[in-house]
Every structure is written in C-alpha cells, then in structure tokens.
Amino acid sequence: MSSVIASTRFSVLDRSRTREGHDGPRALRDTVDLAREAEALGFHRFWVSEHHGVPGVAGSAPTVLAAAVAAATSTIRVGTGGVMLPNHRPLVVAEQFGVLASLFPGRIDMGLGRSVGFTDGVRRALGHGKEDAEDFPGRLTELLGWIDGTQQAHPGVHAHPAEGLRIPAYVLAIGEGASVAAAAGLPLVIGDLRGRDKVLRAIEVYRRDFRPSARAEHPEVIVAGTVAVAGTEEAARRLLVPEAWAMAYSRTHGDFPPLAPAERIEALTMTAKERSLYEQGLEGYVHGTADQVAAQLERAVGETGADEVLVTTSTYDREALVDSLRRLARLARPPGRAAERSPSPVGRAAGSGRPTTGADA
C-alpha cells in the first residue's frame, strides 16, 4: 500500500438515490443502513445531501436525515454535503446544527453549499432565486456568527442551542467557491475526481488565498468523487452504469429518473445523443480492481494533495456498493495494519503529519 493512501482519510457521502422498484422511504432507510456499514468498515465520516423537487433523490432534508444517521451509529462523524445555504435562513441552519451537535456531541459536521433549486419552479417554491447564491459569502458569515456569538445584524437575538458550540464547518465548492472557503478560513470540499484540471486550479487558489481562522489554522482539502472497486474492471464499470444512464436521460428528457439495473440499461436502444452522453458518463471515474484503484487514487491524491477523499458513488445494486466500500476499506487499511491503526479512521495513519482542524476532534 502506498504511503500516500495510508495517510489519507476516506469518507462516504450518500445521495439517497431512489431505485426502480424501491421508493423514496426505502432510499432513506438504505442511506441509514449504508451509514452503519461505513461505520463498521472504519470510514471517517458519513454525509448526506440536499436536493429539492428531484424525482430520483429522496434526500430533501439533510439535517433531519443526519439526525437519523447519527442516532443509528455511534462513532462515525455525521454531516451534510451539504446544506444549501441560499435556500435557508442562517439562523435556522444554526439552530438545526445546534440541536444536532447537542444530541451527538463531537460527531457533527456542517457542510455548506451555494446551490439553489435545479429548476425555476423549484426555486419559486423555495422562495429563492439564482441571485441568492451570489450572497453565499454573506450568508456564511452570518451563520458562523450565530454559532460563534459574534453576529451583529440582529442585536439581542441568539441561536440556541448552537451559540458557543464547536461545530466544524466546511465549504462545498466548484470554481469560485474555493475563494469563499479560503477567505473564511474553512476546509474546502471540492469535486469531482473527473475534472482534475479544474479541481487543481481551484485548490491552488484556495491554498494561495487561505486565511487562518479560529476554525482552521491550515488549508484542508477534501476531494469528492465516485470510486468503484470490484473483483474485475468490468464489474467495477457496471457499478457506474445506472448513474451514467440517469444523467444521460435527464439531459435528454429533462427528468432525473430512479436508478435502473445495469443489465437493463445495457440492453436499451439509445438515440445517438443518449448514447454519447451515456458513454461520457462512464469516463474518468476512479474504478477497477483494488490494484487499479490504488494506482488511480495515489495519482489523484498526489496531484491534489487532498487530506481526504469523500466517496460519492451511487448505483442500483446496494450489495455491490457495500462490497465496493469494503474493498476500498481493505485497500486503505490492509489486514496487516488493521490492529496497528484500528482507532484511526480508514486510511489515516496516526501521526501522519497532516494539519488538523476541528473536524478531527
């Protein structure tokens, strides 16, 4: 095993994707079940996402789902990847995370993003428009102020029980969002592993402009992306098929569908445009046998200098997904070193020399 992988934390984000024959409630229960598996395998953290009005995604209330995940686990860090701050009042977000951090002390992460609804209809229903995303830095500052007790916009108002609690915050970013994370002195979560050049440029800006803060003395980078590990390269590729087809379908039909079985997708007759988008959706991901994935991850982590990899794989076959995570866990912490590093998160050797933040508390 390479020393690069050994000194890198590995975590999991689940989007609560619906599947053919499995409804939204089942998808949410699957997320909770996957969190238990991730904890048993020793992953560092487990995050859930926020999507509104998307038929193929059941995770619309991330702080509620995070509460269910935290209640079903006992040691793994739990958080959001992320709460989309333009959709919410910062005071309410602070209160929600204050409740989570009070119920599950030392385990809650507050991942924050700047996206708004995918369609005009969803944005109108949420009461927010694209312009709200432009005020993300201001909303972030207000939110942190509610937690730190430093906000001045609303004298005499306090965010109970959040005020004064230690709640690690992370900025989810693509492109310009890296500058927001740097200015705020917060860890950066960026994806994905496919668009490497764009990610590298953003990370360079983040590290160059990072301002140390009470929350993080040093830059910290979490790179998110799909990672699929199986016994053969073809089996790993089949894990990518359901999501690749869902994305191709959404771009040609305007509707994001539930995930379908790989064998049914491979038997479909596709239009030329569908086929092109589908094949593009299979390219560039970290996938293959354990040896192949190890080499790909070593390159990705080496190029980005990532402190952590956040695995975001979605697929129809949940058993195959769990098997992929199991293989990844073995890759990051082989049996010969399991006892030596059992108290540590997957892939993070004690004394690795990496800078730490409140996320490591």
Over residues 70-129, the pLDDT tens digits come to 999 999 999 999 999 999 999 999 999 999 999 999 999 999 999 887 778 888 888 877
Per-residue pLDDT, 347 = 55
Per-residue pLDDT, 1 = 54
Confidence of residue 54 (pLDDT cuts 50, 70, 90): confident
pLDDT score of 227 more than 80: yes
pTM of the model: 0.91
Give the residue-averaged pLDDT of 285-303.
96
pLDDT score of 279 more than 60: yes
Least confident range of 238-247, 263-272, 304-313, 341-350: 341-350
Which amino acid is residue 143, in one-letter code?
L
Per-residue pLDDT, 27 = 97
* Spatial separation of the C-alpha atoms in residues 356 and 218, rounded to whole Å: 8
pLDDT score of 49 more than 50: yes
Confidence of residue 349 (pLDDT cuts 50, 70, 90): very low
Contacts 24+ apart (CB under 8 A), 329-336: 329/10, 329/41, 329/42, 329/43, 330/290, 331/1, 331/5, 331/229, 331/290, 331/293, 331/294, 331/297, 332/1, 332/5, 332/6, 332/8, 332/10, 333/42, 334/1
Per-residue pLDDT, 128 = 79
Over residues 149-177, the pLDDT tens digits come to 999 989 999 999 999 999 999 999 876 78
pLDDT score of 251 more than 60: yes
* Spatial separation of the C-alpha atoms in residues 276 and 167, rounded to whole Å: 44
Per-residue pLDDT, 62 = 97
- Work out the mean pLDDT of the chain and round it to a whole number: 90
Distances (CA, A) of 147 to 33, 90, 94, 112: 31, 10, 6, 14
Give the residue-averaged pLDDT of 280-296.
96
Per-residue pLDDT, 334 = 64
Enclosing H/E stretch for 221: strand 221-225
Per-residue pLDDT, 194 = 82
Q: Cis peptide leading into 192, omega within 30 of 0?
A: yes
Question: What percent of the chain is modeled with pLDDT above 70?
Answer: 91
Least confident range of 60-64, 276-280, 281-285, 349-353: 349-353
Per-residue pLDDT, 175 = 64
Per-residue pLDDT, 254 = 85
Give the residue-averaged pLDDT of 246-261.
94
Look at residues 113, 268, 95, 248 and name the one whose alpha carbon lies nearest to residue 190: 113
* Spatial separation of the C-alpha atoms in residues 131 and 85, rounded to whole Å: 12
pLDDT score of 361 more than 60: no
Per-residue pLDDT, 354 = 35
User: Alpha carbon 202 to chain centroid distance?
Assistant: 17
pLDDT score of 191 more than 90: no
Per-residue pLDDT, 112 = 97
Give the residue-averaged pLDDT of 317-343.
76
Distances (CA, A) of 211 to 174, 187, 202, 214: 19, 11, 15, 10
* Spatial separation of the C-alpha atoms in residues 228 and 328, rounded to whole Å: 8
Q: Length of the chain in residues, anyone?
A: 361
Higher pLDDT, 211 or 254: 211
Confidence of residue 350 (pLDDT cuts 50, 70, 90): very low
Give the residue-averaged pLDDT of 35-49.
98
Give the residue-averaged pLDDT of 27-39.
98
